[in-house]
Amino acid sequence: MNAPFDHRQIRRAFSRSASSYDAAAALQHEVEKRLLESLDYLGERTPQVALDVGSGPAHAAAAMRKRWPRAQVVALDMALPMLREAKKHAGWWKPFARVCADARALPFADGSVDVLFSNLCLQWVEDLPAVFAGFRRVLKPGGLLLCSTFGPETLIELRDAFAQADATPHVSRFPPIAQFGDALLMSGFRDPVVDRDRFTLTYDDLPALMRELRAMGATNALQARRHTLTGRSRFAAATAAYETFRRDDGKLPSTWEVIYAHAWAPPPGAPIRGQGEEVASVPISAIPIRRRE
């Protein structure tokens, strides 16, 4: 079975957007801020090594370096131009390391990381249990994992609008919160806690939304995507379909569901659950959604 994502396209898209990402990624920065607040779970503990996976321009790595001046902080991203942007935030007096690598194959020794932070990166990977197993491998026993991803309601209006115009998929289908929590448990993490927000961003028209998505690298990276330009007639049909969502204030809404999780790496030798074993799913009805405009 072919992987749903074209990871070369993901790398190209984020490489191209490196210089425009910060200006376009207001939502990503807000989610990052919320996720950084969860570092308080460490209490007074000061980590020796903190890793920012899928760092982008590495604002989170810079924040962790400021929080823990004596810690070794590493920013990791698959797009080299993003790491060049990250250098601007590293500073000459409190620098952090930058590593160009894939979240699916972390180039670090077993049990070498105290805190693994990953903000809005995991929506671009297909096999969550495998990625979490890699995270668990590099974390020390008792190490803290903090991560966020997009949920299935993200860009639902855009997905529906293009479905009216074209049978080819234009928007990824992201994993639901129960699947995210199950993947953590399957990988052996302890005491996972999941939460979610729903944000609504607004735009004057569909081209404004599409420009912002391109500016932050969030383009269509599905293997099944159309590899030619979307024709005028199809885009016009999608635009007309999106118009049905226009609100009373004259704006077009764009929904973004964000899933947050934190969990702890288990003691040495703890088993990884197999696919056939019982997994304690998180009932989605039990997790409230905070709605934000």
* 270 contact partners, CB below 8 Å, separation of at least 6: 188, 190
The answer to which of 144-158, 179-193, 271-285 has the lowest mean pLDDT is 271-285
Span 119-140, pLDDT tens digits? 999 988 888 999 999 999 999 9
Q: Which of 98, 96, 108 is nearest to 139 (CA)?
A: 108
Please tell me the least confidently modeled range out of 71-85, 86-100, 276-290. Answer: 276-290
Q: State residue 93's pLDDT score.
A: 62
Q: State the pLDDT at residue 225.
A: 43
| Share in percent of the chain as helix, strand, coil (round to 5) | 35, 25, 40
pLDDT of 197 strictly over 70: yes
Share of the chain above pLDDT 70, in %: 83
Stated pTM of the model: 0.86
User: Three-class SS of residue 237?
Assistant: helix
Please report the sign of the dihedral spanned by the C-alpha atoms of residue 27, residue 259, residue 33, residue 125.
negative
CATH number (3.30.420.40, 3.30.50.10, 3.40.50.150, 3.40.50.970) of 7-153+173-201+258-266 reads 3.40.50.150
Residue 138 has what pLDDT?
Answer: 97
Q: d(Cα 148, Cα 258) in Å, to the nearest integer?
A: 7
Q: What is the pLDDT of residue 291?
A: 53
Which residue from 199, 197, 174, 172 is spatially nearest to 253, judged by alpha carbons? 199
Cβ neighbours around 59 below 10 Å, total: 21
Q: Where are the domains of the chain?
A: 7-153+173-201+258-266
User: Does pLDDT of 59 surpass 90?
Assistant: yes
pLDDT tens digits, one per residue of 240-257: 999 999 999 999 999 999
Nearest to 293 by CA among 260, 244, 251, 261: 251
d(CA 217, CA 23): 12
The pLDDT of 248-267, averaged and rounded, is 95
- Tens of pLDDT along 29-39? 999 999 999 99
Instruction: For residue 209, give both structure tokens.
Output: 């939304």
How is residue 288 annotated by DSSP? -
